[in-house]
């Protein structure tokens, strides 16, 4: 990788990536491609983040009230993707159906298929060489005031010796990429009276795996988002009663909820939001009605949480847990960066965009605006969102609020090929089908002609240019050759 005539020499940095989920893997690949020395620290025993299903839960703290939770993944057993696989591949390593035991060729496969694909991606690009598994990052702080380096303290988690200090390590890196996700730390409602005193079972969806423990029970599911609907439907198979408490009229009055009620009216009921939990087991709703329940499951989303990050106030999370900042374009201050803070984006594509940008800023191939300009840009973003009436909690929601903006940012900050029009159309039609019928949308076959042609050409890739898994040594050789070709500053 050589800089062209007249271009500044590119720099190779030592970079620590916190987290080995989709965002961390995208970061690792782009950083290596740009010639940086990467170390990914992942607390789990494998990469994949959310997609590494864990049958265990934060059992002793089913609400996930203590931060940080111990189990990163919030995936439940019945989960199938809500985004079509055609649009869920890395730009040069598509999420094509693969033959083999345990593989799931469907457009919206079960969660395990995405994990298999992420492992395939790691193999194809030799990424496991730079991943330290079972390694939790405990503390990230500026190394000195004079440099922009960071000290990272981590601990090896093996067996039950996780507080053994000898397993702790402190290292200095030129830069840190934070990619620890935001679907692990539960966000609990703050407006329900009696939660603390209720003696019956309460859990957050983070700790829900299968419906079996709720067989024969009356269960209240709080929250009508994707997880709330999935879990309510899962419970309908075994529970005596399922009561879905919608947080607002807007989330309740949707065609998919109406259809769920029509299909499962013998078990499923819809309610307004929960107002109070009573000592006698009653759950009271905002309209004054109540039911007696055995369990309440809060499907109320997740909060941003960076318990290891010590920036001296430079980057903070707001008191509601909705916003991280100030982050220029949801990614930077310079030597610290965040991949994956954004919400409702096409992944891994948008994470690749961010990761590539970070890698190129660190090498000097791209420059950032002056600090005051970046801060001004963040303030403008917040003001514009407020003026447009977008709730504060959607500050980092790009694709769900303004999908066109997501594609524009991709083109502005990276040289990745733009997302093909048929993929955009497929994503939009999948969302529309989901909103019409959340139970059947994954198995519909009503693509437009445009999408059908796109899918056919995409499937033909299988026979053509998809990179094959390389041996670790071949990848290491490639990376070394890249690094040798790069004029280091």
Cβ nearer to ligand FAD, comparing 223 with 486: 223
Q: Does 181 bind ligand FAD (CB under 6 A)?
A: yes
What residues numbered 204-263 form the site for ligand FAD, per CB under 6 A? 227
User: Distance between CA atoms of 51 and 467, rounded to whole angstroms?
Assistant: 22
**Least distance from ligand FAD to the Cβ atom of residue 62, Å:** 16
Nearer to ligand FAD, 157 or 296 (CB): 157
Q: Any contact of residue 399 with ligand FAD (CB under 6 A)? A: no
CA dihedral for 22, 23, 24, 29, sign (positive or negative): positive
Residues numbered 52 to 111 that lie near ligand FAD (CB under 6 A) are 72, 74-75, 79, 81-83
Of the pair 56, 465, the CB lying nearest ligand FAD is at 56
Which residue among 127, 137, 195, 296 contacts ligand FAD (CB under 6 A)?
137
Q: Which is nearer to ligand FAD, 79 or 244 (CB)?
A: 79
* Of 126 and 340, CB closest to ligand FAD: 340
Q: Which is nearer to ligand FAD, 156 or 264 (CB)?
A: 156
The per-residue b/e assignment along 183-213, b for 16 or more CB within 10 angstroms, e otherwise, is bbbbbbeeebeebeebebebbbbbbbbebee
Query: Pick from 288, 269, 270: which is nearest to 278 by CA?
Result: 288
Q: Which of 23, 69, 327, 419 binds ligand FAD (CB under 6 A)?
A: 23
41 is an interface residue for ligand FAD by CB under 6 A: yes
Residue choice 16, 31, 38, 50 for contact with ligand FAD (CB under 6 A): 50
**Part in contact with ligand FAD (CB under 6 A); list of ranges 29-37, 174-182, 377-385, 463-471:** 174-182
- Rule CB under 6 A: is residue 39 a binding residue for ligand FAD? no
State in angstroms the smallest separation of the CB of 21 from ligand FAD. 2
Q: Check binding of 179 to ligand FAD (CB under 6 A).
A: yes
Q: Does 18 bind ligand FAD (CB under 6 A)?
A: yes
Query: Environment class of residue 401 by beta-carbon count within 10 Å: exposed (0-12), middle (13-18) or buried (19+)?
Result: middle
Q: According to CB under 6 A, which one of 12, 15, 24, 87 is a site residue for ligand FAD? A: 24
Among 13, 31, 49, 204, binds ligand FAD (CB under 6 A): 49
Q: What is the smallest separation between the CB atom of 47 and ligand FAD, expressed in angstroms?
A: 7
Residues at the site binding ligand FAD, with contacts judged by CB under 6 A: 18-24, 41-44, 49-51, 72, 74-75, 79, 81-83, 136-137, 179-181, 183-184, 227, 308, 340, 347
């Amino acid at each position: 990788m050589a800089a062209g005539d007249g271009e500044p020499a590119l720099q190779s940095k030592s970079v620590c990536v916190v987290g080995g989920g989709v965002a961390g893997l995208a970061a690792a690949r782009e950083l290596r491609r740009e010639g940086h020395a990467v170390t990914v620290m992942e607390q789990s025993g494998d990469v994949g983040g959310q997609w590494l299903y864990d049958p265990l839960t934060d059992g002793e703290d089913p609400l996930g009230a203590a931060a940080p939770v111990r189990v990163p993944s919030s995936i439940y057993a019945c989960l199938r993707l809500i985004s079509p696989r055609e649009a869920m591949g890395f730009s040069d390593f598509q999420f094509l159906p693969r033959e083999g035991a345990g593989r799931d060729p469907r457009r919206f496969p079960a969660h395990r298929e995405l994990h298999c694909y992420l492992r395939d991606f790691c193999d194809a690009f030799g990424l496991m060489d730079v991943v330290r598994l079972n390694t939790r990052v405990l503390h990230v702080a500026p190394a000195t005031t004079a440099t922009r380096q960071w000290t990272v303290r981590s601990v090896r988690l093996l067996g039950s010796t996780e507080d053994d200090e000898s397993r702790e390590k402190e290292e200095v890196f030129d830069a840190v990429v934070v990619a620890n996700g935001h679907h692990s730390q539960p966000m609990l409602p703050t407006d329900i009276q009696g939660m603390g005193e209720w003696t019956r079972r309460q859990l957050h969806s983070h700790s829900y795996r299968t419906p079996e423990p709720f067989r024969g029970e009356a269960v209240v599911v709080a929250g009508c988002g994707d997880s709330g609907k999935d879990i309510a439907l899962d419970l309908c198979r075994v529970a005596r009663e399922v009561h879905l408490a919608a947080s607002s009229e807007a989330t309740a009055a949707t065609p998919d909820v109406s259809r769920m009620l029509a299909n499962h009216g013998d078990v499923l009921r819809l309610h307004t939001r929960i107002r109070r939990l009573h000592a006698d087991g009653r759950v009271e709703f905002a309209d004054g009605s109540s039911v007696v329940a055995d369990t309440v499951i809060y499907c109320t989303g997740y909060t941003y949480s960076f318990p290891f990050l010590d920036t001296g106030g430079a980057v903070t999370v707001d008191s509601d847990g909705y916003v991280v900042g100030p982050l220029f374009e949801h990614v930077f201050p310079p030597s610290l960066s965040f991949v994956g803070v954004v919400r409702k984006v096409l992944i891994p594509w948008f994470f690749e965009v961010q990761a590539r940008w970070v890698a190129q800023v660190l090498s000097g191939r791209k420059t950032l605006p002056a600090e005051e300009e970046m801060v001004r840009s963040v303030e403008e973003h917040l003001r514009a969102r407020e003026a447009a009436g977008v709730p504060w909690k959607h500050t980092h929601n790009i694709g769900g609020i303004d999908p066109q903006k997501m594609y524009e940012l991709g083109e502005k900050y990276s040289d990745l090929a733009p997302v093909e029009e048929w993929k955009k159309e497929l994503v939009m039609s999948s969302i529309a089908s989901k909103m019409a019928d959340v139970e059947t949308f994954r198995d519909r076959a009503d693509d437009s002609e445009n999408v059908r042609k796109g899918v056919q050409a995409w499937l033909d890739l299988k026979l053509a240019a998809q990179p094959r898994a390389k041996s670790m040594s071949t990848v290491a050789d490639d990376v070394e050759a890249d690094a040798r070709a790069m004029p280091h500053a």
